[in-house]
């Protein structure tokens, strides 16, 4: 792989420094973890996901009963989530608009993600769009109801998915907020995702881990060996020009 030139590396460093300067500049002030938590709840996505979690959890307690294999559901979902997250990020969020006959295929979630790349500091764009959650959450209820053999297992699965979804939203929000990393784990997650936004959008697709799926799937290169992408803030721009 071609080594990036000093000029390109300087551009990447300037982008990152300029963005981080906003953390303590006039636009926003540095946040405590408590302040970040309160700000998190000023957006609709956490309420929609938490509502699903509370309703499904309450119904699960009412239904009662437990099959031994139900305990495997949250374990399996947590274990596979880094790869599910990677696949969604690559195939859906980075979806390239396509023209199929008279129809242009460009879903809202992909359009919002392109806006998110254009301005990673615009916090409303960090969250799953509420319009998407309004059909996605009922869709998950229907799919789990059709796919699973019992009401109890359906509700266990919904609780697990909602809890994982909440964890994803909180982690992604925190990375883009003014809260600065303190723990070693969070610093690694924070750095990994910022490389995706400021270095090269074709790598580092993990969000809630420090590159678990990227390492396995070959999208975790040494940053020094990766050229800074000219389209990192304007996804698919080169293709559109071509």
Minimal CA–CA distance to 163: which of 66, 63, 60? Answer: 60
At 178-224, the pLDDT tens digits run: 998 889 999 999 999 999 999 999 999 999 999 999 999 999 999 99
At 150 the three-state DSSP class reads coil
- In a domain, residue 105? The reply is yes
List all residues 6 or more positions away from 112 whose beta carbon is below 8 Å from its beta carbon.
Answer: 125, 129
Total domains in the chain come to 1
Give the residue-averaged pLDDT of 97-103.
Answer: 91
Whether 17 is in a domain gets the answer: no
Averaged over 218-238, what is the pLDDT? Answer: 90
Average pLDDT for 166-184: 94
* Structural domain contains residue 55: yes
Residue 21 domain-assigned (yes or no): no
What pLDDT does 30 receive? 72
Alpha carbons within 13 angstroms on the beta-carbon side of residue 90 total: 16
Q: What is the pTM for the complete model shown?
A: 0.86
CA distances from 223 to 3, 188, 191, 193 (A): 10, 13, 11, 12
Specify if 112 maps to a domain.
yes
Task: Provide, rounded to the nearest whole percent, the portion of the chain with pLDDT above 70.
Answer: 86
pLDDT at 162 over 90: yes
Q: CB neighbours (10 Å) of residue 95?
A: 18
Is residue 151 included in any domain, yes or no?
Answer: yes
Angstrom distances, CA of residue 96 to CA of 18, 110, 114, 115, 132: 28, 8, 10, 14, 18
Distance CA(36)–CA(56), nearest Å, equals: 27
Q: What domain range includes position 166?
A: 31-183
The answer to whether residue 155 sits within a structural domain is: yes
Q: Is residue 242 situated within a structural domain?
A: no
**Rounded distance between C-alpha atoms, residue 151 and residue 45, angstroms:** 26
């Amino acid at each position: 792989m071609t080594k990036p030139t000093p000029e390109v590396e300087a551009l990447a460093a300037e982008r990152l420094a300029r963005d981080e300067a906003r953390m303590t500049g006039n636009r926003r002030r540095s946040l405590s973890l408590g302040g970040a938590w309160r700000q998190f709840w000023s957006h609709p996505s956490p309420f929609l996901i938490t509502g699903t979690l509370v309703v499904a959890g309450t119904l699960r307690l009412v239904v009662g009963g437990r099959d031994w294999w139900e305990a495997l559901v949250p374990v399996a979902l947590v274990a596979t989530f880094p790869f599910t997250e990677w696949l969604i990020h690559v195939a859906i969020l980075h979806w390239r608009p396509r023209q199929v006959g008279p129809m242009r295929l460009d879903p809202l979630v992909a359009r919002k993600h392109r806006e998110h790349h254009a301005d990673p500091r615009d916090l409303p764009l960090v969250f799953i769009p509420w319009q998407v959650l309004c059909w996605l959450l009922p869709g998950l209820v229907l799919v789990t109801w059709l796919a699973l053999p019992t009401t109890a297992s359906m509700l266990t699965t919904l609780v697990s998915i909602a809890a994982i979804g909440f964890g994803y939203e909180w982690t992604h929000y925190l990375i883009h907020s003014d809260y600065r990393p303190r723990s070693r784990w969070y610093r690694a997650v924070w750095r990994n995702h910022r490389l995706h936004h400021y270095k090269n959008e074709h790598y580092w697709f993990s969000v809630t881990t420090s590159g678990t799926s990227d390492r396995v799937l070959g999208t975790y290169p040494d940053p020094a060996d990766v050229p800074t992408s000219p389209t990192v803030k304007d996804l698919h721009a080169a293709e559109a020009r071509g």
